[in-house]
Structure 1
Amino acid sequence: MADVRLKHYHVRKGRGYWLVTPKMRTYGFENVRCGADGPVAWAIAKEWEDRWQRARKGLEAPLRKVFPKNSVGDAFERFRRMDEWAKKPIRTREDWERGWKYIEPLFGDFPPAVVTMEMMDGWYSALVKKKGLGEAGRAMKTWRALYTVMAAMKLCQPGQDPSLAIRKTAVPGRTQTWTEGETVRMVKGAWRAGFRGLACIIAVAWDTSFSPVDVRTLTPAQVMQTAQEWGFLIDRTKSGEAAFGTLSSRTQRLVIAYVKSLGVTLLDDAPIFRSRGFAPGPKGGRPRAGVPYTKDSLIDDFADMRRLVFGAGEKRRLMDMRRSGAVEANAGGASVEAISAKMGNSIDDNKALQRTYMPVNLAAVRSADASRRTGRKLLCQEQNEYKKLKLGGEKS
């Protein structure tokens, strides 16, 4: 084998890596796995080495903009290299990046201490007009979190964030809910259409009141059985709170039937529910096995199934099933503590006491389940639509 010498190419246990220096990271370069040591790996490493040399000499734009020292952009780049950033959930980091793309064009090159209220006000107002309340609010939230980081870096004064003087307009919260009958129709429709993983996700989301991300990432290791029922014991992705999601007997049979239909033994840490995949029809095509659901693929499949069952006018989402469970439990008289234990969050006022005295309280979970059944009956009996009342009499 030829002796190849590339400055930043290294071999470890027979595998080639192109490893970057801190200076190269400021230009946006990251470590590259080149594969088994050999001609292919050398070619990959040389390609990246050439790109770095061109960027270093100014012959090619860097992969990432280089910001002035101690600027807002420089602070964000430094933060992204810290362990504290790496510990953030992937979705949280994505939210920061999404908000940063609105911050960087105006404030990226400025020292944080020179940013004024007038600048923030003009920036936020323009964002509201151009991108809407949701994106503007996300950008403002990112700025405020980043300001705290910059203050810890001693680049600005703590508690002096100019954006705090600007009143952020909140996006109206969602109020949509599903009924049990509608959920059953969705589950049956998905199963019959071949979306069996999706059918299980919908059924489990309805029973457990878990969020979509918590349902689609469930694994065999999280299946737990008590003296009365079985379900999933999780640490919620968003809050980190522990939650035990109980399953109805109908959903239990559905999940067992689905797992058997996979024809494989799932590893303890492998996501259970998967997309439909593709089987060649009369016109042929390449077969494709189902894969664990991602956020986007779950949204797309659920939208397709919703349209198939309820038509194009239906816009409710899978996330609304979580709210539906809370509405049922509340209507059935469940205490806020019981609903909190059921949903795996701290919706009551005292979060510290809730975490201390009610960690995965099975009695509270069962109470919330019973209240949901009671509330479901009460909600079905009442008319939930507002109608115009005409107070005046008929004109003669």
Structure 2
Amino acid sequence: MLGWIGAPVLVRRLVWPLMPETYSRSDWRALGNIKLKHYVLRKGKHGYWLPTAKMRAMGFGIVSCGHDGPDAWAIAKEWEERYQRARSGLEKPPARVYPTGSVGDGFERFRRSNEWKSKPPRTREDWDRGWKYIDPLFGDVDPKTVTFEMLDRWYGRLKVTKGDGEAGRALKIWRALYNVLAGMKLCLPEADPSQIIRKTGVPGRTETWQEGEVVRLVKAAWRAGYRGLACVIAVAWDTGFAPVDVRTLTPAQAVTSGADMAFTSDRAKTGEPAIGTLTARAQRLVEAYVAGLDYDLHDDAPIFRTKGFKPTGRGGRPRLPVPYTKDSLIDDFADLRRAVFGKGEMRRLMDMRRTGAVEANAGGASVEAIAAKMANSIDQNRRLQKTYMPVNIAAVRAADEARRIGRRLLGSEQNKLRKLKLGGGKS
């Protein structure tokens, strides 16, 4: 018998072997005696979760739950709980509901999976950044109907409006998402029409910093009250860590090796273990910063924080220092860079990591030592690099010493090229 929108259907059948593992036996016994709101049957066997007009205005749409049974009830129960949480203000309602089997529907399913949750935060950010270009054109579309011509026009328009870098990122995420959708049986595997498109490469960054410039940045930040930022810059310069790995450092990651202070870290981007040593100057800076805090740091709390704000005679709302986020670190560093070097300077904090590799290479460090320092595999065989060259403090120190040698060579006359005049002319 057909149910109406908002009319409950009594769940009468319990088939234990088919019950999803996420629900216990007692959960399903309870469902046998209660009514699932907004769950209806069509043709006596297909279950749907049908929201009311008020619920649709919040962003909820019709959800196909499949053949009537424990699996369908679980889906209906999940959506009902999401609605109740959204109605109570405990969860944001869905911004958009995609047709069943569409590209957007597949992506939403993937985002609720453990596979998605296991991805590093930076990887998830990369997917979301690419998805914002995919969604407007393909979110509601059946992936089997997407053609080469559609993708070609989409990619070409992105290149013109957003540049080669963002267009390439969007195409990369589309290709990764297509493989996910194929695994969900929403499209044919190995039939992605975008594979015909040749992605335009983007030249890599080559910018580097000089030690004196970094010293100027650190001193300017400290004097302006941005002491957390000053420490972030000093630590990034010494350790070669990426900005995200520096701003998330905690007291629990601080270690000593002899007279040296260092930080251990699992890189946010790759999960690779890393060791970053500090010079005596950076160590004194970090110790002075921590000693000057008005509170005790928890072992797992980020060390470096924003400046905050204390109202003066002109008034204003006080703001406590908080751990640096990606955006706040970018903004504060950009303000500092502009104050020290002017508006024309566009180098970034992340370029200090590249500088370390350039200096170590110029100083004669081996590829193995540089790989240990940077916690990545810069040779051709990643598996052998992991097996035979694990991260160790001796290799990191070798790279540090090579950086010092390379820094001197890069700043000396030996690194400068002058025009050579061949032949002095006839007398």
Q: What band does the TM-score fall into relative to the shorter chain?
A: 0.7 to 0.9
Instruction: Give the deviation of 1:103 after TM superposition.
Output: 1.4
Q: Report matched runs for 1:244-323 at 5 Å.
A: 244-323=275-354
Cα distance change on mapping 1:371 and 1:285 into 2, 3 Å:
same
Q: Matched residues in 2 for 1:161 and 1:78: separation?
A: 20
Query: Do 2:409 and 2:415's aligned partners in 1 also have CA atoms closer than 8 Å?
Result: no
What is the DSSP-based 3-state SS (H/G/I as helix, E as strand, rest coil) of the residue aligned with 2:292?
helix
Q: Matched residues in 2 for 1:31 and 1:295: separation?
A: 33
Q: Matched residues in 2 for 1:174 and 1:386: separation?
A: 22
Q: Matched residues in 1 for 2:323 and 2:156: separation?
A: 41
One-letter amino acid matched to 2:371: S
Cα distance change on mapping 1:266 and 1:113 into 2, 3 Å:
same
> What residue in structure 1 maps to residue 218 of structure 2?
187
> Which of 1 and 2 has greater Rg?
2
Indicate which of 175, 178, 187 corresponds to 2:206.
Answer: 175
> What residue in structure 2 maps to residue 342 of structure 1?
373
One-letter amino acid matched to 1:144: R
One-letter amino acid matched to 1:301: D
Query: Do 1:28 and 1:64's aligned partners in 2 also have CA atoms closer than 8 Å?
Result: no
Indicate which of 70, 85, 93 corresponds to 2:116.
Answer: 85
Instruction: Give the deviation of 1:347 after TM superposition.
Output: 1.3
One-letter amino acid matched to 2:290: V
Indicate which of 131, 140, 147 corresponds to 2:162.
Answer: 131
For the pair 1:196 / 2:227, whether they are aligned, the reply is yes
Q: Report matched runs for 1:19-34 at 5 Å.
A: 22-23=75-76, 32=85
Provide, for residues 354-395 of structure 1, a one-character-per-residue CA deviation record: whole Å limited to 9, x for no partner.
21222222211111001000000000003867788999999x
Query: Do 2:121 and 2:268's aligned partners in 1 also have CA atoms closer than 8 Å?
Result: no
Query: Do 2:102 and 2:140's aligned partners in 1 also have CA atoms closer than 8 Å?
Result: yes
For the pair 1:239 / 2:270, whether they are aligned, the reply is yes
Q: What is the RMSD of the two structures over their aligned residues, measured on CA atoms? A: 2.9
Indicate which of 405, 409, 412 corresponds to 1:374.
Answer: 405
Q: Matched residues in 2 for 1:27 and 1:168: separation?
A: 43
Identity %: 65
Instruction: Give the deviation of 1:230 after TM superposition.
Output: 1.9
> What residue in structure 2 maps to residue 55 of structure 1?
none
- TM-score calculated relative to the size of structure 1: 0.82
Instruction: Give the deviation of 1:180 after TM superposition.
Output: 0.6
Instruction: Give the deviation of 1:120 after TM superposition.
Output: 1.4
Provide, for residues 197-219 of structure 1, a one-character-per-residue CA deviation record: whole Å limited to 9, x for no partner.
00000000000000000000000
Q: Matched residues in 2 for 1:48 and 1:371: separation?
A: 54
Q: Matched residues in 1 for 2:166 and 2:76: separation?
A: 33
Cα distance change on mapping 1:269 and 1:30 into 2, 3 Å:
farther
For the pair 1:75 / 2:139, whether they are aligned, the reply is no
Q: Matched residues in 1 for 2:283 and 2:78: separation?
A: 50
Cα distance change on mapping 1:253 and 1:110 into 2, 3 Å:
same
For the pair 1:152 / 2:194, whether they are aligned, the reply is no
For the pair 1:328 / 2:353, whether they are aligned, the reply is no
Ranges in structure 1 where 5+ consecutive residues have no aligned partner = 1-6, 9-19, 34-43, 52-61
Cα distance change on mapping 1:393 and 1:27 into 2, 3 Å:
farther
Provide, for residues 240-298 of structure 1, a one-character-per-residue CA deviation record: whole Å limited to 9, x for no partner.
10000000000000000000000321100000001111122232333322111111111
Instruction: Give the deviation of 1:83 after TM superposition.
Output: 1.1
Query: Do 2:122 and 2:269's aligned partners in 1 also have CA atoms closer than 8 Å?
Result: no
Q: Matched residues in 1 for 2:407 and 2:99: separation?
A: 59
One-letter amino acid matched to 1:283: R
> What residue in structure 2 maps to residue 353 of structure 1?
384
Cα distance change on mapping 1:283 and 1:110 into 2, 3 Å:
closer
Q: Provide runs of 4+ in structure 1 moved above 4 Å.
A: 20-31, 383-394
Instruction: Give the deviation of 1:170 after TM superposition.
Output: 1.8
> What residue in structure 1 maps to residue 172 of structure 2?
141
> What residue in structure 1 maps to residue 132 of structure 2?
101
Q: Matched residues in 2 for 1:111 and 1:271: separation?
A: 44
Q: Matched residues in 2 for 1:351 and 1:303: separation?
A: 35
Ranges in structure 2 where 5+ consecutive residues have no aligned partner = 1-35, 38-59, 61-73
Query: Do 1:29 and 1:63's aligned partners in 2 also have CA atoms closer than 8 Å?
Result: no
Q: Report matched runs for 1:197-212 at 5 Å.
A: 197-212=228-243
Q: Matched residues in 2 for 1:126 and 1:92: separation?
A: 25
Query: Do 1:190 and 1:199's aligned partners in 2 also have CA atoms closer than 8 Å?
Result: yes
Provide, for residues 290-312 of structure 1, a one-character-per-residue CA deviation record: whole Å limited to 9, x for no partner.
11111111111111111111111
Q: Matched residues in 2 for 1:230 and 1:79: separation?
A: 42
Q: Matched residues in 2 for 1:385 and 1:160: separation?
A: 52
Q: Matched residues in 2 for 1:260 and 1:30: separation?
A: 48
Cα distance change on mapping 1:315 and 1:30 into 2, 3 Å:
farther
Query: Do 2:122 and 2:268's aligned partners in 1 also have CA atoms closer than 8 Å?
Result: no
